[in-house]
């Protein structure tokens, strides 16, 4: 299926990981066990199960492997971009090919791009005002993200801070995954809402506050 019929999600790896039997590699989407990833997968699974005519392209920004597809099998590792000095972060990111790989991916004509990256991972990805986006994009984040990506065409920044954590009864650690999961669950049944959620004039957060989504369990 062409990118114009796909939603791209770019999320970060998490420190907490599942263990495969005898340390066997696992698909990336099953390897990570942190709150952000588990909450995101709740929506990803709902989206994939819905007959909406769209595909989900889920990519994970890994400090151990680079930018990986969700189905790629990985062994567990103990590496993160969080808290690294800028020079070390840039060195590792370049060695993994992250800036080039992500730049080429974001330039493709997806019907919607959703970024669920914290400040450290945004820096590792080298995203900035010069980044080219091939389709409408949403990034969940705070004031730091808004300053970093201010003026980037086609990008809508949706707040995801302490106020939103209280609003959605979710800790900050898992908030981006919670919001991304809710967005995918919404679009699973109503893909026609994509232009609306990408519209900078539309507050997307009320759309994610439905009783049915509040009752969904977090993916195991």
In eight-state DSSP terms, residue 155 is E
Q: Taking the domain 3-214, which CATH number applies?
A: 3.40.50
Cβ(42)–Cβ(50) below 8 Å: no
pLDDT at 182: 97
Take residue 216 and report the two structure tokens written for it. Answer: 């969904």
Average pLDDT over residues 58-86: 91
Distance CA 89, CA 83 (A): 9
Distance CA 61, CA 75 (A): 15
> Over 80: is that where the pLDDT of 216 sits?
no
> Over 70: is that where the pLDDT of 64 sits?
yes
1: confidence class by pLDDT, cuts 50, 70, 90: low
Average pLDDT over residues 21-48: 91
Could you state, in order of their start, the residue ranges of all structural domains in the chain?
A: 3-214
pLDDT tens digits for range 115-155? 999 888 888 999 888 899 999 999 999 877 777 787 787 89
Distance CA 61, CA 98 (A): 8
pLDDT tens digits for range 18-34? 766 667 899 999 999 89
């Amino acid at each position: 299926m062409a990118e114009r019929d796909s939603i791209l999600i770019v999320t970060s790896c998490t420190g907490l990981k599942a263990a495969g039997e005898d340390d066997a590699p696992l698909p990336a989407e099953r390897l990570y066990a942190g709150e952000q990833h588990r909450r995101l997968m709740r929506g990803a699974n709902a989206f994939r199960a819905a007959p909406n005519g769209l595909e989900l392209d889920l990519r994970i920004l890994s400090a151990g492997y680079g930018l990986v597809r969700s189905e790629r099998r990985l062994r567990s590792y103990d590496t993160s971009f969080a808290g690294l000095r800028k020079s070390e972060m840039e060195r590792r990111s370049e060695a993994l090919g992250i800036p080039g790989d992500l730049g080429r991916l974001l330039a493709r004509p997806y019907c919607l791009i959703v970024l669920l990256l914290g400040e450290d991972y945004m820096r590792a990805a080298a995203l900035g005002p010069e980044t080219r986006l091939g389709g409408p994009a949403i990034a969940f984040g705070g004031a730091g993200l808004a300053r970093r990506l201010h003026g980037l065409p086609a990008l809508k920044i949706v707040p995801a801070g302490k106020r939103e954590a209280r609003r959605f009864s979710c800790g900050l650690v898992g908030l981006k995954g919670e919001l991304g999961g809710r967005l995918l669950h919404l679009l699973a049944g109503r893909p026609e809402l994509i232009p609306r959620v990408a519209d900078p004039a539309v507050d997307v957060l009320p759309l994610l506050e439905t009783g049915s989504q509040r009752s969904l369990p977090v993916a195991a």
